[in-house]
Structure 1
Amino acid sequence: EYAPLISVVLPVHETPEHLLRAAFDSVVAQAYENWELCVADDASTAPHVTRTLDEYAARDTRIKLVRLSEGGGTSVASNAALELATGDFVALLDHDDELRPNALFMVVWALNRDPDTVFLYSDEDKLDERGRRYDPYFKPDWNPALVLAQNYPCHLSAFRRDRALEVGGFRPEFDGSQDWDLILRLTHGIDPARIVHIPHILYHWRAIATSTARAGTVKPHTVAAGTRAVTDHLKAAGVDADVSVVGNAFQRVRYTLPDPAPPVEVIIPTAFSHEHVESCLRGLLDLTSYPNVHVTLVVNEGATKTPAKATLMEKIAEDRRVDVLTYPDRPFNYSWTNNMAIGKTAAEIICLLNDDVLVINRDWLDGMVGHVLQEGVGAVGALLYYPNDTVQHGGVILGGGGVADHFHRNLPRGEPGYFARAWLDQDLSCVTAGCMVLRREAFTDAGGFDETLAIAFNDVDFCIRLRQQGWRIVWTAAAELYHQESISLGRHDSPERADEFEREARALLDRWGKTLVSDPHYNPNLSLNHLNKLAFPPRQPYPWRLTDDE
């Protein structure tokens, strides 16, 4: 019904002829025909560039061409091409890349489903020097934290032309990451519902020897330009933060804490059943740099009946930063215990911490609190390792393994994971309550933990309800801790707890079945049975294969 003119903006500079022809041919071959190709030649001197541009412009009246007398760089050429555009929407194409034949059709299909869309982006893959496809990137839906760490929406991106003109187009001072800078300005202040992810590969990014498709560090100036773009974006948004490079190619935002830092109440349920409790407390009180921490140990009275445990509890309670909250002997219920403890404390920032978690980096809590203080963020999770230095928790993917599973579980420490997401701060649908910082307001909005889920998936259920209330959940790789995982009570799925685990898993599936198979922060082309592997059969059909009720 809606068939807008799409203006494909293409800056050109000294492009090898075979690659230039491939780029042009990929536009001419589009299944959707209402397009114009707006080309700006940035003062190329190679004769084949002039000859090829003239040939294609003469062949198809939908191709518009402007030649710059002096080379101005990518942004200047892109702005010149943008000035030729007359379409409602603009799509970006680099001079040595290719569009899929259905690329513009899929853009228009998405626009018909969501007419108020301002910005769209798709999945992508790469082409090697022999034209072979590889390295597909199946991306999450709009992810406000990840877009500050990585220019993940870049290819294919399309947007309203009037919005691009409103924000001033491309800025030459950000050449190298000029598209990232533009995306940040295009999307700033826009309702996330008007930002659409098309979960199909619509763009082939050419990976030649000098391309950032090979690695961001091939062009170090692109990394520096990315740092400037993110820094400028945060400054324009009135956010006080430092931006630094991670993994030689990505960005990490460190939010400045208020002075004085807000008090944080750390709630630790414990039965004093293992030797790690003291280490957990020592790391929290002596190895954590955050200046305003108070701890509430939540203890079943039955755990204090032995003289050794009673003595340990008395010793711990001597520290003025620690209160011991006891409750009458009853079967352990994680949800009830935390709800009760939170209800008896007053701090606006709460940290839920398992008693088998050990601190690695001193500033772990600074980073988590910095995130939770940002607008709209209700909860923040951490990067947790097993004692053998493999990842235990890199966030939670809904539907993984049937109900929910930890992202990047068993990944060796220091490895980047799926497109570096194990290194990068990002929005997720869920994080474990084994180490979770949250706002009291968000906790109240979500209604606390469901006390019918005593041992398993209570944090998954809580996070789903939190997001339903409009709160964001952020996971940060900057907070690193060890987690022994269920050392106090045994693993959730251990034989002695199997029945309860299965009952709670079924309860969650009954309650959130559709939600659990449509995690917006995990691409539907990826498997739920084997995280980060391709789904087979595909979970995401093309629109022409959809049934009437889809």
Structure 2
Amino acid sequence: MELLERSPHGAFKTLGGVWRRGLAAVWDEVFTYNNSRKHDRYSYWLEGPGGLNKSDLQKIKTHVEQLEYKPLISIIMPTYNTQPEFLKAAIDSVLAQIYPHWELCIADDASTKSNIKAILTRYQERDKRIKIVFRPINGHISAASNSALELATGDFTALMDHDDVISVHALYMIAAELNAHMDADLIYSDEDKIDERGWRYDPHFKSDWNFEMFCSMNMVNHLGVFRTSLIREIGGFREGYEGSQDYDLALRVIARTPPERIRHIPFILYHWRVFESSGSYSTDFLDKAVDSSRRALVDYFESIGEEVEVTGGFLGYNRVIRPLPSPAPLVSLLIPTRDRVDLLRGCVDGILNRTDYPKIEVLILDNESVEPKTHDYFKSLAGDERVRIVKFTGPFNFSAINNFGVQQARGSIIGFINNDIEVIGSGWLREMVVHAIRPNVGAVGAKLRYADDTLQHGGVIVGLGGVAGHSHKHLGGTEPGYCCRIQIPQYLSAVTAACLVMRRSCFIKVGGFNEKNLAVAFNDVDLCLRVREAGFDIVWTPFAELYHLESASRGTDMAPEKAERFARELMYMRTRWSEVLDNDPYYSPNLTLDSEDFALGFPSRAKKPWLKG
């Protein structure tokens, strides 16, 4: 057993000899603890849509020869006292690559196990593409990675741990992506785990590039591939960030390249070695790894001139807290209603008395309420200068009512609030506003719960059920969701307008809600897609949390008298947004469109480059 007191590399793996892990291992423990990434049918999926058959392998070989651009890819691999069988498996997986234009750059960081040098030397003699440097002094993970980087001559550099395995088509997929996107500076793939028996499990099917998510978790590892010139430009790996050195490297690269040059390959190309005898991580290691991660994130924001606080989020994840400007912008909260004062009273009371935000106005958009108790309630609000009752006459048209409300609003920030929303925590609006005022953000959505505390809205995934569905709907209480996605802020394609905050200027720019074609259903999805089409991001945050009784005042869209209207709205969405609905960038093509629980997709919708043309 390797203890922190005995070896400086204990800071990367305290038990079992697995060395180069860092904060990623902490996050893995979070996933394992919550069992949030377990797919019981994964082995079956690998035999079908997730596997490679003989025909695939032959077509990949043919496509390799046809590639116009065949970049040299340098794989850097620091080693230290690796278990021999796992070291051999790692190197063998590189030797097995279908794509031949690679070099493996190994830096052994003064291993004390005598057999490591012999193993590495034999591999170097076997293949001239394997380069090795034996460091005379132990320098820790960053120094060792830099020694491996000094050997690299390729245009692109891939990071690989010394006991992990890459798939046979991993480097081919990188090369194919570079042929399709030759200006890419950073490429990352999906990954799974592999145990000591070679059994694969626990796949992580990732979002396309999602900076908001990346602030909480290092989704670039693994497999992460960087343009070598950029790594050298920033000075390689920084010492003092051990435990999160790969995260720090990625952050410094991201600061120097636009988002469109960061590419995601939705195929599992990397198998992360995990086995039960590896044990757990010491408190000292966790503290150091988390500290390195947060310092790296603070450094990033300082480098781009943005003031933030980086603190702890869910079970060790990072949380970025942005300040509310002074003076705070006026927020106009629009609440359409038709009677149902029992719901409206709870909604308004939470906003006026349990919301920690300094400047709000509440516009109750009254759509022909007739009950005396509703009008009595309106009169009771007359003395509160923050509240206005605005009359809207006509049949229920959510889009038209809210467009009308925006015309009456005075605030530079608009909040669309259903009358069946209830406040949980006082900071919800502050959290949403600090995102809404960011120049790149067009709309912000909240985490909404049913009255029984199960999840009602974890953001919107477009394409589910043909048009759109709510992420992780009905998930229990504090459960983390797939890869903890219900616990961390992220970019999404859409969020519900049951509680949506955005800049008035952005709402006007995209034309507001579509009141002609989408009177009731999908109008929020359509709005968000137009916001994204205009170049803005959509943020969903779990740190704005409220109750939503979901259409309690209106009934279900599946009532017979409303079915025809719903069908028309669905058809409009499929016609207007068909290409977008079939390719949500924030939801893996390897996951199902038939349910909202992030289950495996049969078949996969991922496009195989070797089948093109």
- Listed one character per residue, the Cα deviations across residues 477-514 of structure 1 (whole Å, up to 9, x for unaligned) are 00110000011111233334222112111111111112
**Percent identity for Structure 1 against Structure 2:** 46
How far, CA to CA, are the matches of 2:122 and 2:145 in structure 1? 21
How far, CA to CA, are the matches of 2:511 and 2:568 in structure 1? 22
1:363 aligns to 2:459 (yes or no) = no
- Listed one character per residue, the Cα deviations across residues 447-467 of structure 1 (whole Å, up to 9, x for unaligned) are 111012111000011111110
Select 1:455's aligned residue among 494, 514, 520. Answer: 520
1:536 aligns to 2:596 (yes or no) = no
Q: Give the structure 1 partner of residue 538 of structure 2.
A: 473
Select 1:236's aligned residue among 298, 303, 306. Answer: 303
Compared CA separation, residues 477 and 45, structure 1 to 2 (3 A): same
Deviation at 1:187, TM superposition (A): 1.3
How far, CA to CA, are the matches of 2:120 and 2:519 in structure 1? 67
Compared CA separation, residues 176 and 211, structure 1 to 2 (3 A): farther
How far, CA to CA, are the matches of 1:292 and 1:350 in structure 2? 12
Q: Give the structure 2 partner of residue 114 of structure 1.
A: 181
1:435 aligns to 2:499 (yes or no) = yes
Is the contact made by 1:457 and 1:504 (CA closer than 8 Å) also made in structure 2?
yes
Is the contact made by 1:265 and 1:295 (CA closer than 8 Å) also made in structure 2?
yes
Deviation at 1:212, TM superposition (A): 10
Deviation at 1:346, TM superposition (A): 2.9
Deviation at 1:254, TM superposition (A): 1.2
Output the TM-score relative to the length of structure 1: 0.96
1:389 aligns to 2:453 (yes or no) = yes
Compared CA separation, residues 404 and 438, structure 1 to 2 (3 A): same
- Listed one character per residue, the Cα deviations across residues 313-356 of structure 1 (whole Å, up to 9, x for unaligned) are 1112321111111123x101000111111122232111111111
Q: Give the structure 1 partner of residue 261 of structure 2.
A: 194
Deviation at 1:370, TM superposition (A): 1.2
Deviation at 1:259, TM superposition (A): 1.6
Q: Give the structure 1 partner of residue 611 of structure 2.
A: 545
**Structure 2 portions without partners, runs of 5+:** 1-67
How far, CA to CA, are the matches of 2:221 and 2:315 in structure 1? 19
How far, CA to CA, are the matches of 1:70 and 1:261 in structure 2? 55
1:39 aligns to 2:106 (yes or no) = yes
How far, CA to CA, are the matches of 2:460 and 2:442 in structure 1? 16
Is the contact made by 1:206 and 1:213 (CA closer than 8 Å) also made in structure 2?
no
Q: Give the structure 2 partner of residue 151 of structure 1.
A: 218
How far, CA to CA, are the matches of 1:30 and 1:219 in structure 2? 35
Is the contact made by 1:211 and 1:218 (CA closer than 8 Å) also made in structure 2?
no
Deviates more, 1:368-377 or 1:229-238: 229-238
1:526 aligns to 2:591 (yes or no) = yes
Q: Give the structure 1 partner of residue 232 of structure 2.
A: 165
How far, CA to CA, are the matches of 1:336 and 1:247 in structure 2? 39
How far, CA to CA, are the matches of 1:540 and 1:494 in structure 2? 36
Deviation at 1:274, TM superposition (A): 4.0
Is the contact made by 1:210 and 1:218 (CA closer than 8 Å) also made in structure 2?
no
Q: Give the structure 1 partner of residue 486 of structure 2.
A: 422
Q: Give the structure 2 partner of residue 511 of structure 1.
A: 576
Deviation at 1:220, TM superposition (A): 4.5
**Structure 1 portions without partners, runs of 5+:** none
Deviation at 1:210, TM superposition (A): 7.7
How far, CA to CA, are the matches of 1:426 and 1:269 in structure 2? 28
Aligned pairs for 1:51-130 within 5 A: 51-130=118-197
Is the contact made by 1:127 and 1:134 (CA closer than 8 Å) also made in structure 2?
yes
1:275 aligns to 2:275 (yes or no) = no
Deviation at 1:130, TM superposition (A): 1.8
Q: Give the structure 2 partner of residue 205 of structure 1.
A: 272
Compared CA separation, residues 496 and 113, structure 1 to 2 (3 A): same
1:489 aligns to 2:489 (yes or no) = no
Is the contact made by 1:126 and 1:213 (CA closer than 8 Å) also made in structure 2?
no
Compared CA separation, residues 343 and 211, structure 1 to 2 (3 A): farther
Deviation at 1:83, TM superposition (A): 1.0
Is the contact made by 2:341 and 2:373 (CA closer than 8 Å) also made in structure 1?
no
1:256 aligns to 2:320 (yes or no) = no
- Listed one character per residue, the Cα deviations across residues 259-288 of structure 1 (whole Å, up to 9, x for unaligned) are 221111111111132402111111111111
Q: Give the structure 1 partner of residue 381 of structure 2.
A: 316
| Corresponding residue SS for 1:275 | helix
How far, CA to CA, are the matches of 2:540 and 2:382 in structure 1? 32
How far, CA to CA, are the matches of 2:220 and 2:556 in structure 1? 38
How far, CA to CA, are the matches of 1:431 and 1:256 in structure 2? 23
How far, CA to CA, are the matches of 1:287 and 1:484 in structure 2? 18
The count of residues paired between Structure 1 and Structure 2 equals: 544
Output the TM-score relative to the length of structure 2: 0.86
How far, CA to CA, are the matches of 1:326 and 1:215 in structure 2? 62
How far, CA to CA, are the matches of 1:306 and 1:200 in structure 2? 57
**What is the letter of the counterpart of residue 544 of structure 1?**
W
- Listed one character per residue, the Cα deviations across residues 129-168 of structure 1 (whole Å, up to 9, x for unaligned) are 2221000111010001000011112100101000111122
**What is the letter of the counterpart of residue 339 of structure 1?**
N
How far, CA to CA, are the matches of 1:106 and 1:15 in structure 2? 28
Select 2:85's aligned residue among 11, 14, 18. Answer: 18
Deviation at 1:306, TM superposition (A): 3.6
Deviation at 1:36, TM superposition (A): 0.5
* CA RMSD after TM alignment: 1.8
- Listed one character per residue, the Cα deviations across residues 353-379 of structure 1 (whole Å, up to 9, x for unaligned) are 111100111111111111112230010
Is the contact made by 2:77 and 2:105 (CA closer than 8 Å) also made in structure 1?
yes
Q: Give the structure 2 partner of residue 174 of structure 1.
A: 241
Is the contact made by 1:212 and 1:219 (CA closer than 8 Å) also made in structure 2?
no
1:345 aligns to 2:409 (yes or no) = yes
- Listed one character per residue, the Cα deviations across residues 177-223 of structure 1 (whole Å, up to 9, x for unaligned) are 11111111111242221111001000001113586999999845322
| Corresponding residue SS for 1:74 | helix
**What is the letter of the counterpart of residue 508 of structure 1?**
M
Compared CA separation, residues 201 and 216, structure 1 to 2 (3 A): farther
Q: Tell me which stretches of 4 or more aligned residues in structure 1 moved more than 6 Å.
A: 210-218
**What is the letter of the counterpart of residue 190 of structure 2?**
D
- Listed one character per residue, the Cα deviations across residues 79-98 of structure 1 (whole Å, up to 9, x for unaligned) are 11111111000001011111
Compared CA separation, residues 87 and 401, structure 1 to 2 (3 A): same
Compared CA separation, residues 369 and 54, structure 1 to 2 (3 A): same
| Corresponding residue SS for 2:439 | coil
Compared CA separation, residues 407 and 218, structure 1 to 2 (3 A): farther
**What is the letter of the counterpart of residue 33 of structure 1?**
P
Deviates more, 1:333-342 or 1:484-493: 484-493
Compared CA separation, residues 511 and 213, structure 1 to 2 (3 A): farther
The one of the two structures with greater contact order (alpha-carbon pairs below 8 A, sep at least 6) is 2
How far, CA to CA, are the matches of 1:428 and 1:210 in structure 2? 38
Q: Give the structure 1 partner of residue 56 of structure 2.
A: none
